[in-house]
Chain A
Amino acid sequence: MSNTAISVTDLSKKYGEQVAVSHATFEVPLGTICGFVGPNGSGKTTTMRMLLGLITPSGGTGEILGESIKHPEKYLPRVGAMIEGPAFYPALSGKENLNVLATLGGFSTDRVQRLLEQVGLADRGKSKFKTYSLGMKQRLGIAAALLPNPQLLMLDEPTNGLDPEGIQEVRALLRSLANNGTSVFVSSHLLSELELISDYLIMLRKGEVVFTGKMSDLMLSQQPVIIAKSAKENELVLLLAIAEKAGHHATIRDGAVHVQGPAEWAVEFNRAAFSAGITLSQITPQLPNLEETFFEITGEK
Chain B
Amino acid sequence: MWNVAFAELRKLRRPTLFFGTMGAVVFFSALFSSLLFLLIDSPQGNSDRGRVVSREVLGLATGGVQGFTSVGGFLGIIALCVFAAQTAQEYTYGTLRNLLVRQPGRLRILLGKFIAMKLFAFIMIVLSAIVSIGASVILAPRANVSTDLWFGSDGRQAIFTTFINVIISVIGFGTIGMVLGLLLRSPISSISIGVLWLLIVENLLVAVKNSWQNWLPGSQLNAIAAGGKAVGPVADGIEYSHALLVGGIYVAIGATIASFLFVRRDVAN
Chain A residues with a Cβ under 8 A of chain B: 49, 52-56, 72-73, 76, 79, 81, 83-85, 87-92, 96, 99-101, 103-106, 144, 147-148
Contact = CB atoms under 8 A, between A and B. Distances in A.
Interface string B98-136: 111111110000000000000000000000000000000
B153 interface: no
B97 interface: yes
B56 to A, nearest CB: 49
Given A56-B266, A105-B3, A106-B3, A87 B103 contact: no
Contacts of A92: 10-11, 14
Contacts of A87: 93-95, 97-98
B266 A54 contact: yes
Contacts of A76: 101-102, 104
Contacts of B158: none
B103 A55 contact: no
Nearest to A104: B7
Contacts of A84: 94, 97
A103 B6 contact: yes
A49 B98 contact: no
Contacts of B11: 89, 92, 100
B97 A101 contact: no
Query: How many B residues touch the partner, as a band?
Result: 20 to 34
B268 interface: yes
Given A49-B266, A100-B11, A104-B102, 10 more contacts: A81-B101, A83-B97, A83-B101, A88-B93, A88-B98, A91-B17, A101-B102, A103-B6, A104-B7, A104-B103
Contacts of B103: 104-105
B93 A53 contact: no
A79 B101 CA distance: 8
A90 B92 CA distance: 11
Contacts of A147: 102
A55 B268 contact: yes
B261 to A, nearest CB: 13
Contacts of B105: 73
Interface secondary structure of B, over-half rule: helix
Interface string B148-167: 00000000000000000000
A104 B94 contact: no
Nearest to B100: A54
Contact of B93 (A89, A96, A144): A89
Contact of A104 (B4, B14, B16, B266): B4
Contacts of A79: 101
A137 to B, nearest CB: 12
A71 to B, nearest CB: 9
Nearest to A71: B104
Contacts of B267: 49, 54-55
Contact of B97 (A54, A73, A104, A106): A54
A100 B7 contact: yes
A90 B101 CA distance: 19
Contacts of A91: 14, 16-17
7 contacts: A52-B101, A54-B97, A72-B104, A76-B104, A84-B94, A87-B95, A92-B11
A104 B100 contact: no
Interface string B198-230: 000000000000000000000000000000000
A144 B94 CA distance: 14
Central interface residue in A53, A79, A85, A103, by most chain B CB within 10 Å: A103
Q: Pick the 10 closest A-B CB pairs, nearest first.
A: A87-B94, A55-B266, A104-B7, A105-B102, A103-B7, A54-B267, A72-B104, A73-B104, A104-B102, A100-B7
